[in-house]
Structure 1
Amino acid sequence: MKITPLDIRQKRFDTAVRGFSRREVEAYLELLAGEFEEVVKENIALKEELRRAQLRIEQYQERERTLQETMVTAQRISEDLKSAAKKEAEIIIADAEHQAEKIVHGAHQKLVQVVEDINELKRQRTQFESQVRSVVEAHRKLLETFSGPSFADRDYARVEDNVAYLSQKKATHGE
């Protein structure tokens, strides 16, 4: 059974011969009711404060759960980002290596082509020099042929000899 301050104020005692002083009992009951009323009010206030504190604690606990979930999510996202960045870096490196290989291969092909071109030019130079030597040699021989008595000069000398012979013969026979 709960006792309220009103219960204390309304409590009446039976009177007896030589009992307590009614005024003192009523004054004490009034004092007790006032004190009890203060205790009840304080109890109600403390219960309300406790309820508010429990609400705040629940809110803080909910915030803490939310923060923990956020931290776990952020950590997972961070790990995912790191993993994605690592994969992207690996892809970039692989692509760069592939491009470098293509560049080196292209440079090697160009080097091979340049060497082949140089060798072809050397071959053409040798062939050209040989052809020029052949032409020069042919012209030299031709010049040698023209520098000595030519065929026409020899034939002309023979013709002159024949004409002189015939003229002499004619002069010796026909005169």
Structure 2
Amino acid sequence: MRITPLDIRQKTFEKNFRGYEKDEVNAFLLSLSQEWERIVDENKELRIKLESTEREVTKLREVESSLYKTLKTAEDTGANVIEQARMAADLHLKESQMRADGMLNEAKVKARNTIEDSDMRAKEILAEMEDRLKMLVENYKQMEATRDDLLTNIRHIASDALDRVERSRVAIKEFDPDKHLSMAKREAKRVAFPNQVDIERPSRAEMRAEIRPEPIVIEKEVVLEQQTTTIRVEAPPAKKVQRSFFDEIG
């Protein structure tokens, strides 16, 4: 049975002989009703607070559940992200390793090719230098042989020139200018007086003597490596005898 403060206030008792004091009972019932009313009001407030608290607890539980789910999802997501990151890192590391190996192999191949090309080029240069050196040695030997031939030819030419000079000197010594002048005078008289028969013609010996020896020129070409060298040796001219004008017309 539910009792309200109003029920307490309106409660009546039957009268009986030698019963309780009516005023005291009414005062007590009034106090009781007031206290009961306070308790009921407090109970209502507590219920309201309890309901509010329960709603807050429910919300907190929902938030807790949401947070737990979020945390769980975050943990799962974090684990997945970490796993994916680890897998991506492993894949990237493998790709980097493969690229590094490829670049290293390519560098080794290029280095090997470069070394081989350098060796081949060095061998070609060495062979070319050896060929040039052989050609230089052969040219030097040819130049030495040509020099020896040239020296021999020069010696022969000089010897021939000296012989001819000596013969020219002998011929110059045998040349008689007086005979030459006498023959010239007779020839001049013969030309001036062609009718005179007493003019003697010069003999062959005199004609040969009047011939003035010409300078002897010896020329010989010597070929040395596509260059022509001409050696010219000229004999000294005959000495001219100084004669006066009176000697020439005498």
Offset of 1:112 from its aligned partner? Answer: 0.8
Larger helix share, 1 or 2 = 1
Matches within 5 A, 1:73-112: 73-112=73-112
Distance 1:13 1:73 in 2: 70
Matches within 5 A, 1:19-168: 19-140=19-140, 142-143=142-143, 146-147=146-147
The code of the aligned residue for 1:35 comes to E
Distance 1:149 1:51 in 2: 140
SS of residue paired to 2:3: coil
Distance 1:21 1:126 in 2: 148
Name the % identity: 26
Offset of 1:147 from its aligned partner? Answer: 4.5
SS of residue paired to 1:73: helix
SS of residue paired to 1:18: coil
The code of the aligned residue for 2:54 comes to Q
Moved more, 139-148 or 29-38: 139-148
SS of residue paired to 1:92: helix
Match of 2:3 in 1: 3
Distance 1:18 1:141 in 2: 176
CA displacement, residues 19-45 of structure 1 (integer Å, 9 cap, x when unaligned): 222222222211211111112112211
Offset of 1:141 from its aligned partner? Answer: 5.1
Distance 1:73 1:47 in 2: 37
Offset of 1:90 from its aligned partner? Answer: 1.5
Distance 2:111 2:7 in 1: 114
CA displacement, residues 28-63 of structure 1 (integer Å, 9 cap, x when unaligned): 211211111112112211111211111111121112
Distance 1:141 1:28 in 2: 159
Over the aligned positions, Cα root-mean-square deviation in angstroms equals 2.2
Distance 1:42 1:109 in 2: 95
Offset of 1:120 from its aligned partner? Answer: 0.8
Larger strand share, 1 or 2 = 2
The code of the aligned residue for 2:50 comes to L
Offset of 1:148 from its aligned partner? Answer: 5.4
Ranked by relative contact order (alpha carbons within 8 Å, sequence separation 6 or more), the top structure is: 1
Distance 1:53 1:63 in 2: 15
The code of the aligned residue for 1:97 comes to Q
Extract structure 1 runs of 4+ deviating beyond 3 A: 140-150
Distance 1:22 1:44 in 2: 32
